[in-house]
A and B are shown apart, each in its own frame.
Chain A
Amino acid sequence: MGITHVEVTETQPVPEKEKVVNDLSIQVATVNGSGSQTANTVLLRAIFQMGVPVSGKNLFPSNIAGLPTWFTIRASKHGYIARRKEIDFLVAMNPETAEEDVQGLRPGSAVVYDERLNLKRLRNDVVFYPVPFDQLVAPVCPDAKLRRLVRNMIYDGVLARLLGIEMEEIRKALQKQFKKKLKAVDLNFNAARAGYEFAEKNLPKADRFTVEGMDATRGKILIDGNSAAALGAMFAGVTVVTWYPITPSSSLGETLTEYMKRYRVDPETGKATFAIVQAEDEIAAIGMALGAGWAGARSMTATSGPGISLMTEFVGFGYYTEIPVVIFDVQRVGPSTGLPTRTMQGDVLSLAFLSHGDTQHILLFPNSVKECFSMGIEAFDLAEEFQTPVFVMSDLDLGMNNWMADPFPYPERPIARGKVLTAEDVERLGRFERYHDVDGDGIPYRTLPGTNHPKAAYFVRGSGHDETALYTERPDDYVKNMDRLNRKFATASRRVPGPVIQQEEHPDFGIIAYGSSHWAVVESLDQLKQEYGLGASYCRLRAFPFSEQVKDFCRRQRRVYVIDQNRDGQMLSLLRLAVDADDVKKLDSVRHYSGLPIDARTITDAIAAKEVRH
Chain B
Amino acid sequence: MATTSVPPAPPKKVNRIGLDITPYKGNKSTLCAGCGHNAISERIIEACFELGIEPHRVAKLSGIGCSSKSPAYFLGAAYGLNAVHGRMPSVATGAMLANRHLIAVGVSGDGDTASIGIGQFIHLMRRNLPIIYIIEDNGCYGLTKGQFSATADIGSKLKTGVVNELPPIDTCALAILLGATYVARSFSGDKKQLLALLKGALAHNGTSMLDVISPCVTFNDHEGSTKSYSYVKDHDAPLEDINFIPFFEEITADYDPGTTTDITLHDGSHLLLKKLGTEYDPTSKTDALRLLTEAHEKGEILTGLFFVETKRHNFLDLINLVDDPLATLPQSRVRPPKSVLDEVMQELM
Say yes or no: A277 contacts B93, CB within 8 Å.
yes
Judge whether B226 is part of the interface by a CB distance below 8 angstroms.
no
Least Cβ–Cβ distance between B66 and chain A, in angstroms: 14
Given contacts A272-B322, A450-B99, contact A292 B94 (CB under 8 A): yes
Q: How far is the CA of A281 from the CA of B89 in the complex (A)?
A: 13
- Interface mask (B90-102 → A, CB under 8 Å = 1, otherwise 0): 1111111111011
Say yes or no: A287 contacts B94, CB within 8 Å.
yes
Tell me the residues in window 51-71 of chain B with beta carbons closer than 8 Å to chain A beta carbons: 54-57, 59-61, 71
Question: Chain A residue with minimal CB distance to B72?
Answer: A459
Say yes or no: A235 contacts B341, CB within 8 Å.
yes
Say yes or no: A314 contacts B341, CB within 8 Å.
no
Segment with Cβ contacts to B, from A88-96, A202-210, A294-302: A294-302
Least Cβ–Cβ distance between A472 and chain B, in angstroms: 12
Q: How large is the interface on B (under 10, 10 to 19, 20 to 34, 35 or more residues)?
A: 35 or more
**Partner of B99 from A271, A287, A295, A408 at Cβ < 8 Å:** A295
Q: How far is the CA of A459 from the CA of B120 in the complex (A)?
A: 22
Say yes or no: B79 contacts A284, CB within 8 Å.
no
Q: How far is the CA of A220 from the CA of B93 in the complex (A)?
A: 41
Q: How far is the CA of A105 from the CA of B82 in the complex (A)?
A: 60
- Interface mask (A444-461 → B, CB under 8 Å = 1, otherwise 0): 000011111110111111
Given contacts A277-B97, A291-B94, contact A284 B120 (CB under 8 A): yes
Q: How far is the CA of A453 from the CA of B147 in the complex (A)?
A: 42
Say yes or no: B349 contacts A288, CB within 8 Å.
no
Say yes or no: A237 contacts B334, CB within 8 Å.
yes
* Residue numbers in A under 8 Å from B119 (CB-CB): 280-281, 284
Segment with Cβ contacts to B, from A118-126, A258-266, A586-594: A258-266
Say yes or no: B331 contacts A237, CB within 8 Å.
yes
Least Cβ–Cβ distance between B101 and chain A, in angstroms: 6
* Residue numbers in B under 8 Å from A293 (CB-CB): 94, 98
* Residue numbers in B under 8 Å from A297 (CB-CB): 94, 97-99, 326-327
* Residue numbers in A under 8 Å from B97 (CB-CB): 240, 242, 275, 277, 288, 291-292, 297
Judge whether B268 is part of the interface by a CB distance below 8 angstroms.
no
- Interface mask (B217-245 → A, CB under 8 Å = 1, otherwise 0): 00000000000000000000000000000
Q: How far is the CA of A177 from the CA of B274 in the complex (A)?
A: 65
Judge whether A414 is part of the interface by a CB distance below 8 angstroms.
yes
Judge whether A279 is part of the interface by a CB distance below 8 angstroms.
yes
Given contacts A291-B98, A296-B98, contact A460 B82 (CB under 8 A): yes
Judge whether A440 is part of the interface by a CB distance below 8 angstroms.
no
Judge whether A289 is part of the interface by a CB distance below 8 angstroms.
yes
Judge whether A407 is part of the interface by a CB distance below 8 angstroms.
yes
Say yes or no: B90 contacts A274, CB within 8 Å.
no
Judge whether B12 is part of the interface by a CB distance below 8 angstroms.
no
**Partner of A287 from B90, B122, B319, B334 at Cβ < 8 Å:** B90
Judge whether B177 is part of the interface by a CB distance below 8 angstroms.
no
**Partner of A288 from B57, B91, B327, B335 at Cβ < 8 Å:** B91
Q: How large is the interface on A (under 10, 10 to 19, 20 to 34, 35 or more residues)?
A: 35 or more
- Interface mask (B38-59 → A, CB under 8 Å = 1, otherwise 0): 0000000000000000111101
Interface centre among B59, B323, B348 (most CB of A within 10 A): B348
Q: How far is the CA of A350 from the CA of B260 in the complex (A)?
A: 61
* Residue numbers in A under 8 Å from B327 (CB-CB): 239, 292, 295-297, 448, 450
Given contacts A271-B323, A280-B119, contact A450 B79 (CB under 8 A): yes
* Residue numbers in A under 8 Å from B96 (CB-CB): 291, 295
Tell me the residues in window 477-496 of chain A with beta carbons closer than 8 Å to chain B beta carbons: none
* Residue numbers in B under 8 Å from A285 (CB-CB): 90
Given contacts A222-B348, A235-B336, A414-B331, contact A271 B94 (CB under 8 A): no
* Residue numbers in A under 8 Å from B342 (CB-CB): 407
Judge whether A219 is part of the interface by a CB distance below 8 angstroms.
yes
Judge whether A11 is part of the interface by a CB distance below 8 angstroms.
no
Q: How far is the CA of A238 from the CA of B79 in the complex (A)?
A: 23
Q: How far is the CA of A292 from the CA of B91 in the complex (A)?
A: 7
Least Cβ–Cβ distance between A465 and chain B, in angstroms: 10
Judge whether A283 is part of the interface by a CB distance below 8 angstroms.
yes
* Residue numbers in A under 8 Å from B196 (CB-CB): none
Say yes or no: B101 contacts A288, CB within 8 Å.
no
Judge whether A221 is part of the interface by a CB distance below 8 angstroms.
yes
Q: How far is the CA of A299 from the CA of B94 in the complex (A)?
A: 9
Least Cβ–Cβ distance between B270 and chain A, in angstroms: 28
Least Cβ–Cβ distance between B112 and chain A, in angstroms: 13
Say yes or no: B87 contacts A287, CB within 8 Å.
yes
* Residue numbers in B under 8 Å from A294 (CB-CB): 81, 91, 94-95, 98
Q: How far is the CA of A271 from the CA of B316 in the complex (A)?
A: 11
15 CB contacts below 8 A, A to B, read A238-B334, A239-B329, A269-B322, A270-B320, A283-B90, A291-B81, A296-B99, A296-B328, A297-B99, A297-B326, A299-B94, A450-B327, A454-B56, A459-B71, A471-B72
Q: A272-B322, A276-B319, A410-B341 are in contact. List 15 more A-B contacts (CB 8 A).
A: A236-B335, A240-B98, A291-B94, A293-B94, A293-B98, A313-B84, A448-B99, A449-B79, A450-B327, A451-B56, A452-B56, A454-B56, A457-B55, A457-B80, A459-B82
On A, residues with C-beta under 8 Å from B are: 219-223, 231, 234-240, 242, 259, 263-264, 266, 269-277, 279-281, 283-299, 313-314, 317, 321, 407-408, 410-411, 414-415, 448-454, 456-462, 471
On B, residues with C-beta under 8 Å from A are: 23, 54-57, 59-61, 71-72, 76-84, 87, 89-99, 101-102, 119-120, 122-123, 316, 319-323, 325-329, 331, 333-336, 338, 340-342, 344-345, 348-349
